Structure 1
Amino acid sequence: MYSEKITALIALDSATGFDPCLIPINLNGCNGNNRSTEQCRIDANDDLAAITSWLRVKGDNPKTYQAYQKELERLLLWAVIERSKAFSSLNTDDCRAYIDFIKQLQPDNSRWVSCVPTNKTHGHWKPFQYRVAKKTTDTPRVLSICSINYANTVISSCMDWLVKQNYLKYNSFSDITPIKAGTLTTQINQRLFTRHHIQLMLDYAQSLCDHTQPNYYAQLRVVFILKFAFNTGLRLHELVAANYGAIEALEDAEGEQYFLRVIGKNTKLRKTSLPTAFIEDIRNYRLALGLSPNLSQVPDTTPLINSLRKKTEQHLSPAALHKILADFFKRWHTHLIATDQPDNRLINKVQHASTHWLRHSYGSFLANDCQIPLAYIRDELGHASIATTSIYLNTDDKKRQQAVSAAFMVGAKTKK
């Protein structure tokens, strides 16, 4: 019965989200307890219309729209099915209960969780999916701490906007405290490669480039992608969207300085630095492909990461880039296991690595190895707050550990 109920309620359309006709009238938000009595500034009589208005304003990027929609769909489903309340009737206690619910959600909860990919048009679809391969903890968790905080942020942002539009009286999520950043810092530090690991990665990728093999150009591209991702810290969709027309060259007495215009989250434009050494990597990659290394002569719409298959569509899709690097990490993982003296710590990292790890590696390298000011790194990565950037900084932890270790070494020498 549950699957039928949830399937009926979830009849979704990629453009409009929930079908309002499938939500009970008493739970659609027309008379929600938290509805504002002021003149509403948006054309929305019920919760679905209000949420859709927010999605259209905030979700210009299709991937962002999908991600935001998913979080609000989950909350709406939980409110209707578990709480028998409309979205606009949720109070602070309800919102705390929802965060506790997703925090404690386990893979064996077949009512809400699927352990295999499912489609919304099928009867076995569930709002949450558990991906076994990505779990590294002894206690499996459906959502990571980062994902839980992300859900909190998205829902709170939506409610904030709806308060400003006089749809809601107050934001019921405003007092829900995110999980401490210290835990996030630990997670980030586990999901990055050191500079030494990056060099090992590039050496292995380069060793696969054999000009006598039919996949030579594909392997060259993998090396270039790895360098591009680590040298810029771009997100997956930013990497595939980057083209030569977005490169800016500024010339002064010290020579040329290169930047890349990037459209990041919330369609926010930023300029990220292109290291001089990476500019040479771009030129060398073009030479290897038999193309001119003169960047100023390349058509503006030409993507930096080229497609090898489609002649009419030069850009890779984010999914295609994800698969390319996932295949590389899998191959590297197999290689590391087969070495004479396997590095088990690195092997474990590579087993769970993804494209986003290169972004984390970039941030950690600048913050810890190079001690670049956090404000600079924030602007390079496109973070809204320097607090987000600070999760990469662990220099103080290293110094503290070194000081404690040195103290015990002194103590050991005194005893002798």
Structure 2
Amino acid sequence: MGLQHLAFFRGYLEGLDLAELADQYLEFGRDARKATATRNWLVTAFVAAARKRQDFATARLLAIRPTALATAEPAAAAPSLEDFAAQHDPDGFHTEKELLDLFTAHHAGPGADLTATLRRQQRNARLRIRQMAALNALARLVVEDPKPDHHVLGWFDTAVALRLSDVGITTIGKLVETINAVGYRWYRNVSRLGETGARRISAWLENYRDVDGLSIAQEALTHPSDQRLPVPRFRREPVTAIVPLEYFLAPTDLDGSRGANRNLIKNNSGAENDLQAIAFWLADYENPNTRDKYRAEAERLLLWAIFAKGKPLSGLDINDAREYINRFLVDPQPAAQWVMNRAVPRGEPEWRPFRGPLSVKSRQDALAALKKFFGDLVNAQYLDHNAFAKIKVFLGSETDEAGNERRVAAKPRVQVERSLTREAWSFAMRVLDSLPDSAAAARMRFVLALTYSTGLRRAELCGAFTDDISVRYAGAELGSIHLLRVVGKGAKERFIPLVPAVLEALGDYLETRDFPRDPLVCPVGTPLIPALPDNQDIGRVRREAAERGDDVHQALAALARQAGPIHHDQLYKAVKRFFSAATAAALREDSPHARAFAQVSPHWLRHTFVSHAVANGMSLESARNFAGHDSLDTTSIYATAEIARQYREAEVFLRRAGA
């Protein structure tokens, strides 16, 4: 419950129109139905909070509707007592009794009980004052500030929160990051939010700009047409400063032409200095995303070498490499020199190489890129040795209770913690079973069944067809089994066994799509996971079927059969949408699984399969083959996930050994 809810509830107690209040304070705007529902929720929440504190007087006060305290007029022409006093006794000369007598004498009419009516007015006015005082006292205990890690479902209308979650904005912190990174028009990727809804959300966040991590840049709050027009730029000349490579002028003594690590005799790259060496290295990368990523890492290192170490890039040694990865990247300082607070185009003066400290994974990515960079330059004999070859990523160091400094090893690149526990998976399956029947729900049931039993990557799920399934004899015990042919990373082919439970789920799903249950007799090119027809296509088919007098159900079934495979992004959004619903269910039940559900992506499902499979006795070799890992070392990381199981096995071993 936030300040916007408190302001809305105050207005309600004052008798103001709910739709007007919602338009002013809440993100969904002038929606009378939702405004009424919000009012009911707030009354229930405030009354419950008062009762929890055994403050039953406050609970009774806040349950009184404003209509019950409306001022009752004693006669059509009679003013309120306050207005009468302002007109006839502005200096407060009369006592309250004298003022009542004077009011009665002025406005007495046939059968009028002015004294009783005025007393009701005074009582109601006192009750309204007590209501506001009670609300203010309770608000200090109930109302809280949002935090960056709070889920959006806890702060926004469910429909708005789910639209944000669909595009990966699951927490308040991610919302602020998105607004600051994208700017004023951040809402364009959010379905059915619009500029007005985005402005309401930004205005709400502005109330909390003093909360750590919730400050929005002024530029992101201002419409582009209202922002100061940029000064026309002339052609930018290269400078010796912390600027992008295309604007950088290296000092002659630090340009790398005589770097300590240069191989000046056998250089086969054709590069005469470090800037040319970077260009030589990047020329081999056709994919622009890969090239930009590698350029950023080389650019950061070059600038750090020159401005922090006073060396050319080709003069860095192993100690420099260790310092760069495990000290500088942990927290680039001074921040004003190295860090930009928001995304700025490369040509702007505010551009800096970093957006903040790098996470462990980002440092691992940087190290991998720089190992390759230096390795390729060694192969081209521009450099003599690879300074990054033996470097490892550390989290840094921490001091124990005895004052000893301890280095902490980095987490494995495969983050086993990004998987669901067995209890969380069971909760998610309950949510899945509760979904109403629909094409989307049927597809999600099969997606989760297939992913949980195979651990396929998102791209592999999207690229699976019924004609990839074949039958193979597996010996006398098993007979013939079904296999799914998968082409994974690096175009490597593997075959995944489909157990009866998966085949049953596939048969059920094919049947809902009006295909045969047996995938072997389905038409060629039938995707295991199809894209669903959009509402426009469904409406068109319905109209055409009605015009022709055809069966609408059969026409829609034919449309569904024509569907192609689901796109990677559509699958991602579908999984996020389901787990947003699971998050909402977990929050309603005060379940500890809500935080994990809010982060689930298709890759979490892959981790969940391998973790659960290994924990339940599947061999590492089988789990590796299912997951398509290159190395058993990668799969073995999951064997450490079930620490409780290790503990129990160690305990049994020691007991049997008589220790």
Amino acid corresponding to residue 354 of structure 1 in structure 2: S
Q: For 2:505, which of 281, 286, 290 is the aligned residue?
A: 281
SS in structure 1 of the partner of residue 472 of structure 2:
strand
Cα-to-partner distance string for 1:52-110 (whole Å, 9 max, x where unaligned): 665565x6777655655554444344335434544333221221121124552289946
1:343 and 2:567 correspond: no
In structure 1, which of residues 230, 247, 256 is the aligned counterpart of residue 452 of structure 2?
230
Secondary structure of 1:190's aligned partner: coil
**Pair 1:174-2:408 in alignment:** no
* 2:313 is the counterpart of 1:87: yes
Task: Tell me if 1:402 matches 2:648.
Answer: yes
| Secondary structure of the structure 2 residue equivalent to 1:393 | helix
Aligned to 2:492: 269
1:364/1:155 CA distance change after superposition, 3 Å: same
Aligned with residue 105 of structure 1, among 320, 328, 331? 331
CA RMSD of aligned residues (A): 4.3
* Cα contact 1:205–1:223 (8 A) shared by 2: yes
Read off the aligned partner of 2:363 and give its amino acid letter: I
Secondary structure of the equivalent of 2:415? Answer: helix
Listed as ranges, the gaps of 5+ residues in structure 2 are 1-237, 396-407, 538-561
| Separation in 1, partners of 2:298, 2:502 | 40
- What TM-score, normalized by structure 1, do the two folds share? 0.71
Aligned-partner Cα distance in 2 for 1:369–1:273: 19
Asked if 1:256 is matched to 2:481, the reply is: yes
Of 108-117 and 34-43, more deviation after overlay is shown by: 108-117
Query: Post-superposition shift, 1:193?
Result: 0.9
User: Aligned pair 1:306/2:519, yes or no?
Assistant: no
Please name the residue that 1:332 is paired with: 582
| Amino acid corresponding to residue 634 of structure 2 in structure 1 | T
CA deviation profile, 1:125-177 (whole Å, cap 9, x unmatched)? 554446xxxxxxxxxxx433233223222321332233223232111001212
The answer as to whether partners of 1:243 and 1:300 remain within 8 angstroms in 2 is no
Contact preservation (8 Å) 1:307, 1:315: no
Q: Which has the larger radius of gyration?
A: 2
In the other structure, the counterpart of 1:218 is: 440
Out of 600, 603, 616, the position equivalent to 1:356 is 603
Once the 2 structures are TM-superposed, how far is the Cα of residue 336 of structure 1 from its aligned partner? 0.3
Q: Which of the residues 312, 318, 322 maps onto 2:572?
A: 322
SS at match of 1:204: helix
1:341-392 deviation digits (Å, cap 9, x = unpaired): x332x223223333322222122122222332x2333343333433222211
Relative to structure 2, which stretch is displaced further, 252-261 or 30-39?
A: 30-39
* Contact 1:9–1:23 (Cα < 8 Å) also in 2: no
Q: Which amino acid counterpart does residue 639 of structure 2 have in structure 1?
A: L
**Are residues 400 and 284 of structure 1, via their aligned partners in 2, closer, same or farther at CA, if it must alter by over 3 Å?**
closer
Q: Secondary structure at the match of 1:168?
A: coil
Unaligned residue ranges in structure 1 (runs of 5+): 11-17, 131-141, 410-416
Deviations 1:192-215 (A, max 9, x none): 11234223323313422x24xxxx
Paired residues of 2:465 and 2:528 also in contact (CA < 8 A): yes
Q: In structure 2, do the counterparts of structure 1 residues 316 and 404 end up closer, same or farther at CA, with 3 Å as the change threshold? A: closer
Q: Is the 8 A contact 1:192 1:360 kept in 2?
A: yes
Q: 1:67-216 alignment to 2 at 5 Å? A: 67-101=293-327, 103-105=329-331, 109=335, 111-113=337-339, 120=346, 126-129=352-355, 142-179=357-394, 184=411, 188-208=415-435, 210-211=436-437, 216=438
What amino acid is the match of 2:439? Y
Name the structure 2 match of 1:243.
Answer: 464
Aligned pairs, number: 375
| Amino acid aligned to 2:445 | V
- Which range is displaced more, 282-291 or 395-404? 395-404
Partner residue of 1:9 out of 238, 243, 247: 243
Q: Which has the higher contact order (CA 8 A, sep 6+)?
A: 1
Letter aligned with residue 263 of structure 1 = G
Deviation at 1:298, TM superposition (A): 4.2
Q: 1:73 to 1:186 in 2, by over 3 A?
A: closer
CA deviation after TM superposition for structure 1 residue 393, in Å = 0.7
Identical positions, percent: 24
Q: How far off its partner does 1:337 sit?
A: 0.9
| Aligned-partner Cα distance in 1 for 2:450–2:288 | 24
- Pairwise CA distance, 1:329: 2.6
Q: Which amino acid aligns with 2:505?
A: D
Q: Distance in 1 between matches of 2:514 and 2:240?
A: 55
TM-score, normalising length from structure 2? 0.48
Q: Quick check: 2:241–2:248 contact (8 Å CA) kept in 1?
A: no
Distance in 2 separating the partners of 1:160 and 1:100? 20
> Helix, strand or coil for the counterpart of 1:191?
coil
CA contact (8 A) 1:270 1:379 kept: no
Counterpart residue type for residue 610 of structure 2: G
